[in-house]
Homo-oligomer: A and B are copies of this chain.
Amino acid sequence: MYRTNTCGELRLCNAGQQVTLSGWVQKARKMGGMTFIDLRDRYGITQLVVDGGASSELVELASSVGREWVLQVVGTVVERQSKNPKMETGEIEISVSEIKVLNKANTPPFTIEDESDGGEELRAKYRYLDLRRNPLQKALKLRHQIAHQVRNFLNDQNFLEIETPYLIKSTPEGARDFVVPSRMNPGQFYALPQSPQTFKQLLMVAGYDRYFQIVRCFRDEDLRADRQPEFTQIDCEMAFVEQEDVLNTFEDLMRTLFKNVLNVDIPASIPRMSWYDAMDYYGSDKPDIRFDMRICEITSLVQGFGFSVFDSVEYVGAINVTGGASYTRKQTDELTEWVKRPQVGAKGLVYIKYNEDGSIKSSIDKFYTPEQLQVVLSKAGAQKGDMLLVLCGAKRKTQNMLGVLRIEMGNRLGLRDPFNFAPLWVVDFPLVEWDDETGRFYAMHHPFTAPKPEHLELFYSDKKEDLERVCANAYDFVLNGTELGGGSIRIHEAEMQQRMFEVLGISKEDAEYKFGFIINAFKFGAPPHGGLAFGFDRICALFGGQETIRDYIAFPKNNQGRDVMIDSPSKIDDTQMEELFLESTFNENQLK
């Protein structure tokens, strides 16, 4: 062992002990005849001191060390003259008698501090140096702790962690698969799993009852911000359960995580909201309920007064900005520009201010009397000093824009403290949604989600409008406006599964080819079952008070799906291509 203690461990009560420490030089400085070195490891920082009375070799060596050198030092713990209350080891220092340089270090390309001076690209290239920084060490430690707590909780609840294969079968329904050519089966490919969905259902058929797995999943999507081609799920499934059982089990899990990891108490019962209410009142299937500011439909209150913009649309809705009456013209103009950006896509923004003196000022004053506007203000619950922001257009699209505007106003008003945690279940999702472009239904959750028993008649109807009304016992766990997980009660009957594929326009042959094994499995005694999956990376990020997941993954990829540290993906040898019976049709010039 290269050390007797870590750099985060020694306290005043250790004074007088001879110790050996190993670690990295955080910084070194000379003061008078003394050299001070801050030695760092995963556990903390301890100050070393080499005083003028030491041998000249030692003094020389101490003054030669550079940032990030790796040292082993022997010395005695002594009480500091000037204590540093900000450091956990700040009451002591090590009076050094021996230094051994375990490894020298080039000067790092950026500072290894809480706030680094390195740009994102540079830090990605030297990820192993970036990972030395405190915020990242804390992030990965948090990740470990959460995983450990999850496993302990689920183990205590009789769940078994069962590993499912990574080399599976390509089933191009949903996102794009990564594929893996098989050398032993030439011309054929495995696929990497987008989730272990079918395998966990087969485990239920196999009688395993309570399954979980913290498992990597893969999606070959064009990467939007904060998406990774590989990501980790907490994947769970239970047999002989109804929706209520699943929700209760995983509420308990989340409650335990919040308590044991963050020492935060979340409500004894997490609120539930139907998907329809979420869309109507928050313009989002993942409402941030840390603040109210619900969307209020005012269509009937503003139509028929001759304002053609409102008269011609399906829907008019408003949010109430508390204290917004004091916004200047410049501010409302800026907000108007903000909603007109392509990311939001509104055509314009109407405001209605309810001034402190009771007067009303709006951008539609010439079309409405104050009395007519007063009705709108009342409906939206505006108080004196508030301001309504109004958008109009097609219903869901407008609600969605209002939802985006609501989040923006929440940010601007400081209503979105990352350490205020407001969990929510969104329930009663539609089973399928129609896509105009391809002229078919898509599964809202996935093709294995069961319709609600009370909607079975609609499910077997041939009418599009009936199918659109079918709801599922599907549920999402939402935290602070982010979907952290979701699941459903599954289909467990072969015949119903076949009907689902039919609804989705998947031919019998195609369904048989892609999902034959699971339809077949359902014929041999499948129990009722359901489950869910949490996005583990995102749980870690939110628990850490961050919105982006990248710092909670040890070795993430960039937006082009590249690992710039190892420079991957890369070309492979011709012999590898030949063994796989593959040729690339890609011509580099195509890119130029």
Give the interface of A toward B (CB within 8 A): 1-3, 22, 24, 40-43, 68-70, 72, 102-106, 108, 126-129, 131-132, 137, 140-141, 143-144, 147-148, 151-152, 155, 160-170, 172, 176-192, 198-199, 202-203, 205-209, 216, 218, 220, 222-223, 229-230, 232, 240-242, 245, 492-493, 516-517, 521-528, 553-555, 557, 560-563, 565-573, 576, 578-586, 588, 590-591
Contact assessment for A563 and B206 in the assembled complex, using a CB-CB cutoff below 8 Å: no
Can you list 10 A-B pairs with a CB-CB distance of less than 8 A? Answer: A103-B492, A129-B206, A165-B557, A169-B567, A182-B561, A184-B560, A184-B561, A199-B554, A578-B585, A583-B585
Complexed CA–CA distance, A578 and B586 (Å): 10
B169 close to A131 (CB less than 8 A):
no
A21 to B168, CA, bound (A): 35
Closest to A522 in B: B103
Residues of B within 8 A of A176 (CB): 183, 576, 579
Q: In the bound complex, do residue B182 and residue A106 qualify as a contact, i.e. CB atoms below 8 Å apart?
A: no
Contact (Cβ within 8 A) B180 A131 = no
Contact flag A524-B105 (CB < 8 Å), given A183-B220, A229-B167, A555-B164: yes
Q: A103-B526, A207-B137 are in contact. Are A167 and B230 (CB under 8 A)?
A: yes
Provide the residues of chain B in CB contact with A72, threshold 8 Å: 240
A583 touches B586 (CB 8 A): no
Contact yes or no, B131 A527, CB < 8 A: no
Query: Would A208 and B165 count as touching, CB distance under 8 A?
Result: no
Q: Which B residue sits closest to A179, measured CB to CB?
A: B572
- CB pair B523 A106 closer than 8 Å: yes
Contact call B22/A206, Cβ cutoff below 8 A: no
* Distance between Cα atoms of A177 and B128 in the complex (Å): 24
Cα distance A182–B572 when bound, in Å?
12
The 4 closest A-B pairs by CB, nearest first: A105-B525, A131-B206, A581-B586, A169-B568
Taking the closest CB of chain B, its distance from the CB of A523, in whole angstroms, is 5
Q: How far is the CA of A172 from the CA of B570 in the complex (A)?
A: 13
Residues of B within 8 A of A147 (CB): 161
Query: Which of B140, B191, B522 contacts A160, CB < 8 Å?
Result: B140
Within the assembled complex, what's the spacing in Å between the Cα atoms of A384 and B201? 63
Complex Cα distance, B180 from A41, in Å, reads 37
Contact A155 B148 (CB under 8 A): yes
Contacting pair B166 A218 (CB below 8 A)? yes
Q: Which residues of B contact A161 (CB under 8 A)?
A: 144, 147-148
Task: Looking at the assembled complex, report how far the CB atom of A451 sits from the nearest CB atom of chain B, in whole angstroms.
Answer: 17
Establish whether residues A202 and B128, one from each chain, have CB atoms under 8 Å apart when the complex forms. yes
Out of B126, B167, B525, B527, name the residue touching A557 (CB < 8 Å).
B167
Q: Are A562 and B493 in contact (CB under 8 A)?
A: no
CB pair B517 A566 closer than 8 Å: yes
> Chain B's nearest CB lies how many Å from the CB of A6?
8
A187–B580 CB distance below 8 A:
no
Q: How far apart are the CA atoms of A330 and B436 in the complex, in Å?
A: 81
- In the assembled complex, the CB of A19 is this many whole angstroms from the nearest CB of chain B, namely 13
Tell me if B70 and A527 are in contact (CB < 8 A). Answer: yes
Q: Shortest beta-carbon distance, A240 to chain B, in Å?
A: 4
Q: For A570, what are the chain B residues with a Cβ–Cβ distance below 8 Å?
A: 169-170, 188-189
Q: Which of B126, B525, B566, B571 contacts A69 (CB 8 A)?
A: B525
- CB contacts (< 8 Å) of A185 on chain B: these are 560-562, 569
B199 touches A571 (CB 8 A): no
Instruction: Given A168-B563, A527-B22, verify A582-B581 contact (CB < 8 Å).
Output: no
Cβ contact within 8 Å between B209 and A569: no
Distance between Cα atoms of A165 and B162 in the complex (Å): 20
* A208 and B178 contacting across the interface, CB-CB below 8 Å: no
Q: Which residues of chain B have C-beta atoms less than 8 A from A183's C-beta?
A: 176, 220
- Are B563's CB and A169's CB within 8 A? yes
> How far, in Å, is A343 (CB) from chain B's closest CB?
22
Are A581's CB and B585's CB within 8 A? yes
Tell me if B160 and A144 are in contact (CB < 8 A).
yes
Instruction: Let me know if B571 and A188 touch, CB within 8 A.
Output: yes
A555 contact set on B, CB distance < 8 A: 164-165, 199, 202
Q: Which residues of B contact A164 (CB under 8 A)?
A: 554-555
Q: With contacts A167-B557, A181-B181 known, what are 8 further pairs, Cβ within 8 A? A: A22-B240, A70-B526, A102-B527, A128-B524, A144-B160, A163-B216, A166-B166, A168-B568
- Please give the distance in Å from A472's CB to the nearest CB on chain B: 19
> Min CB distance, A498 to chain B, in Å?
15
- Compute how far the CA of A131 lies from the CA of B199 in the bound complex, rounded to whole angstroms: 12
Closest chain-B Cβ to A174's Cβ sits at a distance in Å of 14
What's the Cα separation between A562 and B183 when bound, in Å? 11
Which of chain B's residues have a CB closer than 8 A to the CB of A137? 207-208
Q: How far is the CB of A162 from chain B (nearest CB, A)?
A: 5
